[in-house]
Amino acid sequence: MFFSVIVPIYKVEKYLKRCVDTILSQTFSDFELILVDDGSPDGCPGICDAYAEKDSRIRVIHKENGGLVSARQAGIRLAQGEFVFNVDSDDAVTENALQSAYDIISRTGADMVSFAYRVYRGGALSEPVYDMPEEGLYTGDALKEKIYPHLISDRNMEHMFYFLWGKAIRRTLLLPHQLHVDTAISLGEDLSCAVPCYLAAESVYMSREEAYLYTIRDDSISTTFRPEQITQVADVISCLKASDAPKPRDFDKQLARYSCFMCFAILAQLAEGKHFESLKDVENKIKASVHQEEIPKAEFDRITVKSKIAISLMQKGRLKSAAYFLYLCKKIKCMWKRG
């Protein structure tokens, strides 16, 4: 069997059939589909079982709710394919996704294939979204020069695609790194696994084919401000530091930039939503975590003036001032738009 397609499932009854149907409609047929019901309280478990009764390629896991990481770990433990293709249960894939991955792997022997994607929101599809490197196979020095400097965050706040979805990864490469991720991580869980895979891979193919359709949901947890995100990002940093994957020379600098950028983004989300009642909690969480050490070390080049000012305030420990500055920037932008 060539592919194991793993779909973690939780409270996505509205989207699940579309997701599964696009997988079953693949032009490439040598795959198994592993549906991991992560204790979903809606109709998803029944949907999974109904599909399994109709198609022998489908295997269903029903487990207690443990989060996305634990669901993916349950799936890969059962997987038998030579390569794993992760799909989120509210997303979809193009009908040639697996065929394209197979063709590239057969031609190049790549350990990983990363595809471009389109964003699906409100019934409309975006233009293709491409990863940073040019299309092609990266090995040896090319990996070190073109891929590694952008894995987590370069000096311009730019980075490679963090997510696991839309990638075909050799199962023997993915397995140890997926099982290493702490199941408690629910923000940055993809990064915690994808980065070690990139670093341990001998060859990576970057494709500009848009094989994946990413759905943006208004009720997604990623769009909701939560103070505990600060601690979760700190856990990701600890997870990456503990990884046994070989690390590039600037790895610690990238982690510092990631810490600073994510705390900046969370503060911006706080300011935009006017969650100032949570500001003290966020401040305490930053000061009590690895961020307190990492943020002052972060160095950036080509970033906006707004970002420079906010980050400068953060690096001086003036988190409250940074949050209100970001709020003021948002207010001015809204006033400017209104004319």
Residue 333 in any domain: the answer is yes
Residue 334 lies in a domain: yes
Same-domain status, 234 and 214: no
> Final residue of a domain: which of 195, 219, 243?
219
pLDDT in tens, 5-64: 999 999 999 999 999 999 999 999 999 999 999 999 999 999 999 999 999 999 999 999
CB 101 within 8 A of CB 30: no
Tell me, yes or no, whether 154 lies in a domain: yes
Residues 278 and 308 in one domain: yes
Q: Residue 125 forms beta bridges with which residues? A: 120
Return the pLDDT at 91.
96
What confidence score (pLDDT) does residue 302 get?
87
Same domain, 277 and 310: yes
Asked whether residue 266 falls in the same domain as residue 132, the answer is no
- Is the same domain home to 214 and 271? no
Both 215 and 233 in one domain: the answer is no
* CA 282 – CA 101 distance, rounded (Å): 42
What's the CATH code of the domain at 11?
A: 3.90.550.10
User: What is the chain's alpha carbon radius of gyration, rounded to the nearest angstrom?
Assistant: 21
Domain-embedded: residue 293: yes
Give residue 122's pLDDT.
Answer: 83
Pairwise CA distance, residues 15 & 303, whole Å: 37
Domain boundary among 198, 219, 240: 219
Residue 224 lies in a domain: no
**Cβ neighbours of 61 (radius 10 Å):** 18
Write down the pLDDT at residue 331. Answer: 86
Q: Which one-letter amino acid corresponds to residue 79?
A: A
The number of folded domains in the chain is 2
Q: Which of 167, 197, 219 is the last residue of a domain?
A: 219
pLDDT tens digits, residue range 220-255?
A: 545 578 899 999 999 999 999 998 888 999 999 999
CA distance 255 to 239: 11
Instruction: Check residue 222 and give its pLDDT.
Output: 52
Q: Are residues 139 and 248 in the same domain?
A: no
Q: Is residue 292 part of a domain?
A: yes
pLDDT at 217: 77
Query: What does the block give as tokens for 90?
Result: 């509210």
- Contact in structure between 114 and 100 (CB atoms under 8 Å): no
Instruction: Specify whether 169 is located in the same domain as 244.
Output: no
Q: Tell me: do 295 and 334 sit in the same domain.
A: yes
The predicted model scores a pTM of 0.92
Same-domain pairing of 242 and 183: no
| Inter-CA distances, 316 with 124, 225, 248, 287, 322, Å | 43, 24, 28, 12, 10
DSSP assignment of 259-295: HHHHHHHHHHHHHHTT-GGGHHHHHHHHHTSTHHHHG
Asked whether residue 122 is domain-assigned, the answer is: yes
Q: Are residues 60 and 91 in the same domain?
A: yes
Q: Helices H, strands E: what count in the chain?
A: 13, 10
Q: Is residue 202 part of a domain?
A: yes
CB hemisphere CA count around 221 (13 angstroms): 13
Q: Give pLDDT, residue 333.
A: 78
Amino acid code (one letter) for 155: R
138 is in which domain, residue-wise? Answer: 3-219
Q: Are residues 256 and 189 in the same domain?
A: no
The answer for 136, left when phi > 0, alpha when psi is -120 to 50, beta otherwise, is left
User: Can you list the residues of the chain whose pLDDT is less than 50?
Assistant: 221
Q: Which of 129, 113, 119, 161 is nearest to 3 (CA)?
A: 113
